[in-house]
Structure 1
Amino acid sequence: MKTKKHTILKKSVLIIVTFLILLSLLGQTDLGNFSSQDNSEFNYVTIQKNTIRYLQKGQGKDILLIHGSPGSIEDWNKIIDSLSVDYRVTAFDRLGHGYSSDYEYSHHIEDNAILTNQIIKQFNLKSPLIVGHSYGGSTAAFMAVNDNNSDQKYIILDSPLYEIKMQPIYMTTTLPVLGKGFSLLFSYTISDMFIENGLNDILVSIDTNQRNTIIKQRQHIWSQPKVIFNKSMETKNYNSDLKQISNRYPNLKSHFTIVTTKDTLKTFRKDCEKFHKEIPNSSLIYLENTGHYIQIERPWAVLNIIRQKMEGQPSSYKKQ
């Protein structure tokens, strides 16, 4: 009897080990990832061995948009066309998100700050207004700390700026050797459910049809194994990255407009409030009846705030 149990245990262990090895090997491939998109509206540029998807529209003063984690150019769909009537607007997929590659990406905010500066140089953007949502806002803060320019203007949309909690599931997808394999496994199994549940929690005020469209689009883009892995690794490094810069906030000279919501559920209001108190040249705007994706739920408010910032007017919000 003991021999039979021992044999079953050995076979079970062998099956599990074989499965993990296979999963690890498959995780190193591009299975389930997108490398390009058949849409003439988008373009691609190579920056230091990485292929970056970008969108640029309009003429005039420059605005640069940085999405969150996970995220992509699509996060700005509701404001790009309106802004491009008066300004030149540039948006891009960050490393390992959307349709961009992640070659030698170490998953730190600094990597994204470097890429953003390379984008500015690549497209010869002239003192662009930098608008960052969530992780993109954290990237903007990192840029300001490391290039303390009193003429530079930023808008931060509901971003973590001091700390963030890491969900337990990321412990699996950040495992050495196996992390990419588990990201691949989740891509084909539970990712759509997690994306739907997560978006339902933070999309507060849009109707059912819009909500379903947004969820399906994000499921398509965010369920890529590379996106799951890169999101996980960014989250793992998030607190240490923010700790590296947050003690330098009070010395910032750049001009910040910080936008958050009065509803604290699934938002980063407390971090935004603390950041505003520490930054001399900053203003804080609260929007009602919106969740974390402010530019999706309150696009006209965000458009107003951006236009006011571009024209040097006091930051405020007028209902449309």
Structure 2
Amino acid sequence: MYVNGIEVNYFSAGQGEAVLFLHGWGSDFLSFKYFLDSLSAYYRVFALDLPGFGQSAEPPAAWSVDDYADFVLTFMGELKIDRVILIGHSFGGRISIKLAARKNLPVSIDKIVLVDSAGIRPKRTVKQTIKLFFYKGIKHFISVEFIRRRYPELLEKWRQKHGSPDYLNATPRMRECFVKVVNEDLTPCLSKIPYSTLIIWGEQDYETPLGDGKIMERLIPDAGLVTLKNAGHYSFLDQGFTFLRVLDSFLNIKRTA
């Protein structure tokens, strides 16, 4: 399937009201495979590899969260989805927050589920501030033509030593996207979300700490937080049975034994 000229790998199964899963950074929709199959007996379930991930092509430029949100809206339009429940993990949670905070959407949102969601920019520690200072200094230093020709690998060596795994494992285009995405704080969007929101978080999530989930619960007007013990950033995989039971309750699914 092509959406705005971008080849997209996606999943569709089931009937009834639409549920759209949005995966995290560096992942793809297959991370949800068990839950996609399980929910498709009760809902019309969709998922996609977002541009630049899985089997979908990269975006044509360095996209922001808003660009990804726009793309998801176009994707839903192509599939005639006019009413949806959003389930977003990590980066997918960022996109869900952006969409849910917008007014006058071309699609109706019934509920949203944020799973170990990204979106709250942490305050920099002193160590991080120093690292950023040195990074900018090196970047400025190698901008001098003579230095750039003599030491072309200097900045990349610094990135390899100090960059995050998500950044280092990305292609040049997706690195540009990553920088745009992580530098945007979505905290101001949270109070604008009018939909019933379930927040599910791994108690041992160190990538997006549990404190972020508590902030989201406090700022989103109609939100509840469920903490999964012995679970990390991929809490839905670490505690799949409990995750599905919580999701079933929120989506009013009554399974037969």
TM-score, structure 2 normalization: 0.75
1:160 aligns with 2:118: yes
* Residue aligned with 1:289, SS: coil
Matched residue type, 2:111:
K
Distance in structure 2 (CA, Å) of the matches to 1:268 and 1:147: 29
1:53 aligns with 2:25: no
Matched residue type, 1:121:
G
List gaps (5 residues or longer) in structure 1.
Answer: 1-44, 177-181, 199-221, 314-320
Which deviates more from structure 2 when the two are superposed, residues 149-158 or residues 50-59?
149-158
1:237 aligns with 2:180: yes
Distance 1:78 1:121, change over 3 A: same
Is the 2:205–2:233 Cα contact (8 Å) retained in structure 1? Answer: no
Is the 2:200–2:228 Cα contact (8 Å) retained in structure 1? Answer: yes
Matched residue type, 1:89:
V
* Residue aligned with 1:96, SS: coil
Matched residue type, 1:54:
Y
Alignment correspondent of 1:76: 32
2:238 corresponds, among 291, 297, 301, to 297
- Aligned alpha-carbon RMSD (Å): 3.5
In the TM superposition, residue 229 of structure 1 has moved relative to its aligned partner by: 3.6
Matched residue type, 1:307:
D
* Residue aligned with 1:89, SS: strand
Distance 1:65 1:105, change over 3 A: farther
* Residue aligned with 1:276, SS: helix
Is the 1:151–1:255 Cα contact (8 Å) retained in structure 2? Answer: no
Which deviates more from structure 2 when the two are superposed, residues 276-285 or residues 228-237?
228-237
Alignment correspondent of 1:102: 58
* Residue aligned with 2:191, SS: helix
1:135 aligns with 2:76: no
* Residue aligned with 1:141, SS: helix
Is the 1:163–1:238 Cα contact (8 Å) retained in structure 2? Answer: no
List gaps (5 residues or longer) in structure 2.
Answer: 136-141, 144-152
Alignment correspondent of 1:257: 198
Matched residue type, 1:251:
K
In the TM superposition, residue 133 of structure 1 has moved relative to its aligned partner by: 0.3
The percentage of aligned residue pairs carrying the same residue is 20
Structure with greater proportional helix content: 1
Distance 1:151 1:119, change over 3 A: closer
Which deviates more from structure 2 when the two are superposed, residues 275-284 or residues 245-254?
245-254
* Residue aligned with 1:152, SS: strand
Distance 1:162 1:50, change over 3 A: same
In the TM superposition, residue 130 of structure 1 has moved relative to its aligned partner by: 0.4
Deviations 1:120-175 (A, max 9, x none): 11112242110000000011001111137895311000012211579x8xx8xxx9
Matched residue type, 1:102:
E
4+ long deviations beyond 6 Å: none
In the TM superposition, residue 66 of structure 1 has moved relative to its aligned partner by: 0.3
1:283 corresponds, among 224, 232, 239, to 224
Choose 1 or 2 for highest CA Rg: 1
Deviations 1:251-292 (A, max 9, x none): 321221111122253343111111110111111110100110
Matched residue type, 2:178:
T
